[in-house]
Amino acid sequence: MTDLVDDTDLPLLMAAAESVLDEVSGSFVEGVGSPGVHYKGAHDFATEVDLALERRIRQALQTRTGIEVYGEEFGGPEAASGTRWILDPIDGTFNYSVGMPMASMLLALAVDGEPVIGLTRIPLIGQNFAGYAGGGLLVNGERVPMMDEAPLQTAVIGLGAFNARAEGRFPGAARAELQRLLSYRAGRMRMTGSNGIDVAYVAAGVFGGAVSFSANAWDNAAGAALVRAAGGIATDVTGRPWTVDSTSLVAGNGQLHAELLQVIGEAMPEQVAALRTGRR
């Protein structure tokens, strides 16, 4: 650590992180529409802005807080042990590259794998979400009420994008079945193209709940911290508390979260059972 911020002082660490994101938000806005140039897979890429932002944020955080960074673009030390910043410089890169405003910067602080600070910035529409364990939720710097209990049938649910033909831990067919069941069990569904935005909106009460099937800590850590700061629940699809090792995220208020887990169990029973027994 440096002398600037104590690594146990969550309010000061959050303020330091907010100052870093303040400094780079202009570059985020200026770069919208940048094409994908670094391909990680058939439908996954980074822009030059992703890389530049991660370099700047990483250097500034480490200088000001002395805490190492685990980022999407350049990796870093293991996120599950010690104290680590977890960074996604642009979540919703596809949206960003085509000029859609639903793209965000996600930053979390994890202590031994548990997210304790979360920040989600949506610079193109001027929305900022920040919170820390025990400290409540701030939206654009203003404290908002703790999350209310509400049922699934009246709520908007955020879902991640998917390919119905895809395989993997949570196959596309199972995700499509979840979408089918939610189409008549939930109030509405929305697919923003940014997991981080979905879960920040849950924390702020815009969405009632959200489901992410990403196993990447940088996609979910900030949102999990925000939801918990707002009094909500963040687990994986089996109901285990979310950590950086989790392979999914389910977020919502207590009542809705329980209902959402039930629907997920109906839509993909084999996948949930396999995770519960440690087979995958």
- The rounded mean pLDDT for the chain is 92
- In this structure, the strands spanning 249-252 and 233-235 are antiparallel
Q: Which residues pair with 114 in a beta bridge?
A: 111
Encoding tokens for residue 268? 């993909």
What was the pLDDT predicted at 164?
A: 80
Could you give the C-alpha distances from 162 to 43, 96, 135, in angstroms and in order?
Answer: 11, 18, 34
112 is in an annotated binding site: no
Total H helices, total E strands in the chain:
8, 14
Q: How do residues 89-135 score in pLDDT, each as one tens digit?
A: 999 998 998 999 999 999 999 999 999 999 999 999 999 999 999 99
Q: How do residues 149-187 score in pLDDT, each as one tens digit?
A: 999 999 999 998 777 877 888 999 999 999 999 999 999
142 is in an annotated binding site: no
Q: Angle CA(29)–CA(94)–CA(235) in degrees, nearest 5? A: 100
- Amino acid 45 reads F
Dihedral class, residue 110 (left if φ above 0, else alpha if ψ from -120 to 50, else beta): beta
Residue 245 lies in a domain: yes
Last residue of a domain, one of 114, 143, 172: 143
Residue 47 lies in a domain: yes
Whether the CB-CB separation of 68 and 77 falls below 8 Å is answered with: yes
What was the pLDDT predicted at 1?
A: 38
Q: Are residues 126 and 55 in the same domain?
A: yes
Q: Please, which residues have CB within 8 angstroms of residue 142's CB and are 6 or more apart in sequence?
A: none
Full-model pTM = 0.94
Last residue of a domain, one of 143, 166, 190: 143
Residues above pLDDT 70, as percent of the chain: 93
Last residue of a domain, one of 95, 112, 143: 143
What was the pLDDT predicted at 4?
A: 54
Residue 229 lies in a domain: yes
CA distance 193 to 23: 25
pLDDT, mean of residues 15-39 = 87
Q: Is 44 helix (H, G, I), strand (E, B) or coil?
A: strand
Q: Are residues 167 and 220 in the same domain?
A: yes
72 is in an annotated binding site: yes
Q: How do residues 226-258 score in pLDDT, each as one tens digit?
A: 999 999 999 999 999 999 999 999 999 999 999
Whether the CB-CB separation of 174 and 271 falls below 8 Å is answered with: yes
22 is in an annotated binding site: no
266 is in an annotated binding site: no
CB atoms within 10 A of CB 1: 11
What was the pLDDT predicted at 35?
A: 62
Q: Are residues 91 and 109 in the same domain?
A: yes
Sequential DSSP letters for 186-232 = SSEEE--S-HHHHHHHHHHTSSSEEEE----HHHHHHHHHHHHHTT-
We report the CATH number of the domain holding residue 201 as 3.40.190.80
For the chain, the domain total comes to 2
CA distance 1 to 14: 15
